[in-house]
Amino acid sequence: MSKIAITGGLGYIGTQLCKLYASEILDNEITIIDNRFLPERVKELITWGFRYECCDILDKKKIAKLLHDVDIVYHLAGVTDVSYVKSQSSEKIDNLIEQVGIYGSRNVINSIPNSAKIIFPSTHVIYEGFEEATFDITEDVKPCPVLAYSKGKTWTERDLQDSNKDYTVVRLGSAYGYGGDSMRVGIMPNLFSKITATNGLLKLFSGGIQQKCLISVHDVARCMKFMAERNGISRETFNLSNENMTVKQVAEICREVFPSVEIIETDDEIPNEGYTLSNKKLLDSGFRLEYNIEDSIKEMINIWSGRQEKNRKELEYKFSGGKEFIDDRGRITNYELPESVNWIGWIESKKDTIRANHYHPIQEQKCLLVSGKYISVFKDLKDPDACITTQIIEPGDIVVTKPNVAHTMVFVEDSLVLNLVNGEREHENYGKHTIPYVLVDDVLKEELLQNHKFHCRVCSGTKLEPVISLGMSPLANNLLKSDEDIDKLYPLQMNFCPNCYNCQLSHIVNREKMFDNYLYCSSTTESFRDHFNNFAEVLIDRFNLDESSFVLDIGSNDGILLKALKEKEVYAIGIEPAGNLSDAANLNELPTVHGYFEDASVVSKIDRKADVVTALNVFAHSDNLKQITYNAFSVLKPGGQFVIEVQYILNTLKDVTFDNIYHEHYNYWSVLSLHRFFESLDLQICHIEYVETHGGSIRVYIGSKNVSIDPSVAKFMQEELAYGLDKIEPYKKFAEKVLERKKYALGIVKSLKINGKKIVGYGSPAKATTVLNYFGIDNKFIDYIIEDNEMKHGRILPGVRIPIVSKNIAIDSPPDSIIVLAWNFFNYIKKNNQDLLKMGCKFITLNS
């Protein structure tokens, strides 16, 4: 066991050196000597097993007692608050530097036994007397100190050389890097990082031309330990530096990390043009540098600007362990916590139970799931309009929840959770550190347990990441029949799968609730009738269809495509789950089978093979898409193709059309995710077309593996990769834009109301339910909604409970403003309502 002493051990370098020795404390007896007392730092060192002595190195008697039998001493103590130019120096400070730097160091040198080794950090500023810029100074160049600090270092180097002690002098460049409260923020790279992170102004004295030699404080500590333990190194001096660059170059690194930082050049005094050290001798000794200034500056700026992982702004986030070690014994996974922990709660929870339903006004909550699985539900209590968000927590996940965020755990398996606390959580103090808040009641608990989607619909992955939560929302097309009807709300949240880039809803609503009686009719608008007529012509031309051909249309609605094909003498049958719509289609002699295409009983009613199977704007409407695809190809002729149209997620993100998110749309497709989906079924996309419907959609042609692939497929995928659809970041930016749009829309509506304006809506598509419920714009703001579809007259938009009426109501009593909720038909609606325009009605949208 070695006896080691570290003078100045609470300082910048000493802190890092202690961390290196923390894992070796059982093999060494280590004493930290410092004239400062930092309560938390001393507590930490004692906890690790270090010994602390509050002592000044000028106390000759006490120092001799502490060092008389050491094996290694790292002599780091000294005055570091020093002047950098002559104009800053004073006799009082210079005398203190001399006393501590020279005479205190002599006390240390004279107190250690001849058998001990002393490691002493000198400085590059012993060459500050050079009048011109000097580069690659080697260890044998004579020092030329000017100021008291460098003179003191030079004296101690000489004292060591004149002694009979075993020493290693390490001449340091300017040490940089994050080091907690002990770090020297005044050192140029550290200071520049702090100024950058706090939106300050970087001033480059004399234009920033001064040369600097720089070294990471972490490499300084590593090098000192290396020198102490390296056999064959005795009574030597080494230069320790890594980067040689100008002050201006350091400022430019800050700008690369934080582009908005302002940099100016000034005429302020600099002591010299600078100098750099050669580190050749050091590298020849076998020591290797591991840190660099770019990463260190980035780390400091991110920490102090709040951009680092530890300072994440999310209300709640999760992360898994890293730096794993695996061998035949098993696996070790390490976690770096955002703050220290002094209290650990062992929590066992049974399946189908809930915990928490509370918030912490001050403390951050950190929980490590050891085994089991649960749904974490959380909500920001600082925002009265905040929505609940959910995420799945799996074994190995640590969940961090910020203060004043209500949170609940809904356990889907028997689980073991470790609660990692900084502070206290005594149960008798419940109500102080922890405040009850019922975020999840029994109804929502059962809904989550029964219908939450735990895995990706495309790849079955479980590492789903929340994109955006639109809160608790009603089913978009399930309009209420009367004021007595009760709103049924479900979580409406989009998740992203980082494995296959699929986007899907977090929650599944029973299909019968949404589709058995459906009020949306595709034939209502002229533009959709034109779209389906054009599509019928595309099918005929592409597949050479004639009167002998057969087309099967899944989700045929009121028969809009069937009618277009029939008029062109192509036989087609539809599959439609909504009884009211299938009945209407059959009455119009458009043959339609009532049912869900994923059901075998429905597929069995198709008694001939199809040339083409289509699914327009319905391929996102099922939780059982693989079965639908299997069934589609089971009824296709050899060489036949499956053609789908889906809303395009790229347009959703670019145009911020979040109101296309509602419970009917289980999935939100990109070509990347569609490619992965069909590839997993041994099928391939052979052609893609862009179409304008629903704010931007894609028409995708799918065939067997032997079909030729059109260049359009690669083109779409390349565009998506360029936008970043294989990463979560564009989705997070989308969520931020949605929140901005919410603020904008509420501002418009509230301003109109304050000014006494009468507001109504126009159109009650599914998107209207999403947007109005998310924005919180209810019947207190909008008197009624005009609707061209007579099937919806007399109904009530759910959640916000706004009545849906005929246009005649507005004719009789014209409103001031008409918010077009079917914004994708804005021009069409405005054109067809010239009478309302002439009455002074202003048509607007809620899109910024």
Same domain, 531 and 623: yes
pLDDT confidence of residue 426: 72
**Per-residue pLDDT reduced to its tens digit, 57-96:** 999 999 999 999 999 999 999 887 655 555 556 677 778 8
Same-domain status, 530 and 624: yes
Q: Is residue 492 part of a domain?
A: no
Residues 6 or more apart whose CB falls under 8 angstroms from that of 461 comprise: 455, 497, 498, 499, 500
Same structural domain, 535 and 415: no
Do the bridges between strand 759-762 and strand 785-786 make them parallel or antiparallel, or are there none, so unpaired?
parallel
Note whether 324 and 434 are same-domain residues: yes
User: For residue 17, what are the β-bridge partners?
Assistant: none
DSSP state of 801: T
Please report whether residue 294 resides in a domain. no
pLDDT score at 87: 54
Label residues 503-540 b or e (16+ Cβ within 10 Å = b): bbbbbbbebeebbeebbbbbbbbeebeebbbebbeebb
* Nearest CA among 436, 422, 432 for reference residue 354: 436
- Looking at residue 310, what is its pLDDT? 46
**CATH code: domain of residue 31:** 3.40.50.720
Q: What is the number of other CB atoms lying within 10 angstroms of the CB of residue 470? A: 22
Report the distance separating Cα 724 and Cα 747, nearest Å: 32
Q: Which of the listed residues 690, 707, 729 is the one where a domain comes to its end?
A: 729
Q: Is residue 626 part of a domain?
A: yes
Contact status, residue 291 vs residue 223, Cβ threshold 8 Å: no
DSSP-H helix ranges across 32-147: 39-48, 60-67, 91-98, 105-111
Tokens 């057969």: give the residue: 550
- Does residue 834 lie within any of the structural domains? yes
* Residue 429: partners with Cβ closer than 8 Å, 6 or more residues away: none
Burial class (CB in 10 A: 0-12, 13-18, 19+), 548: exposed
CATH, residue 537: 3.40.50.150
Residue 34, H or E segment: strand 28-34
- 770-to-103, 448, 796 alpha-carbon distances in Å: 76, 20, 14
Instruction: Write down which residue in 729, 764, 779 finishes a domain.
Output: 729
- Quick one: pLDDT at residue 752? 93
* Same domain assignment for residues 839 and 744: yes
Q: Distance between CA 421 and CA 343 in Å, rounded?
A: 5
Let me know whether 750 and 707 are in one domain.
no
Tell how far CA 107 is from the center of its chain: 54
Query: CA distances (Å), 747 to each of 447, 473, 695, 741, in order?
Result: 34, 22, 24, 10
Regarding whether 320 and 282 lie in a shared domain, the answer is no
778 is in which domain, residue-wise? 740-844
Element (H, E) at 355: strand 354-359
CA-based torsion, 628, 630, 631, 637: positive or negative? positive
Q: Beginning with the edge strand found earlier in the chain, give each strand of the sheet holding 503-505 in spatial order.
A: 465-474, 489-496, 503-505, 667-668
Residues of the chain with confidence (pLDDT) below 50: 309-310
Query: Residue 181: how many CB atoms within 10 A of its CB?
Result: 10
Give the closest residue to 771 by CA, choosing from 803, 797, 791: 797
CATH number at residue 428: 2.60.120.10
Domain boundary among 434, 452, 470: 452
> What is residue 187's predicted lDDT score, i.e. its pLDDT?
92
pLDDT for the residue 524: 72
Count Cβ neighbours within 10 Å for each residue of 361-394 and write b for 16 or more, e otherwise: eebbbbbbbeebbbbbbbbbbeeeebbbbbbbbb
Give the integer Cα–Cα distance in Å for 583 and 419.
Answer: 57
The total number of structural domains in the chain stands at 4
Amino acid in position 782 = I
Give the residues across from 845 on adjacent strands.
Answer: none
786 φ, ψ (degrees, to nearest 5) = -80, 140
Q: Is residue 307 part of a domain?
A: no
Residue 487 in any domain: the answer is no
Could you tell me if 677 and 822 lie in one domain? Answer: no
For residues 326 and 396, membership in a common domain is answered with yes
Domain contains 123: yes
Residue 51 in tokens: 């010994």
Q: Token pair of 684, please?
A: 């391939």
Q: Are both 599 and 645 inside the same structural domain? A: yes
Tell the burial category of 591 from Cβ atoms under 10 Å away from its Cβ (0-12, 13-18, 19+). middle
Question: Angle at which helices 12-22 and 39-48 pack, to 10 degrees?
Answer: 20
Q: Are residues 776 and 710 in the same domain?
A: no
Backbone angles phi, psi at 712, to 5 degrees: -60, -30
Instruction: Identify whether 267 is part of a domain.
Output: no
For residues 842 and 825, what is the distance between their CA atoms, to the nearest angstrom?
Answer: 16
Strands (E), 395-446: 397-401, 405-411, 415-421, 435-436
> Do 595 and 659 lie in a common domain?
yes
Q: Is the CB of residue 451 less than 8 Å from the CB of residue 509?
A: yes
- Residue 193: CA count within 13 A, CB half-sphere: 25
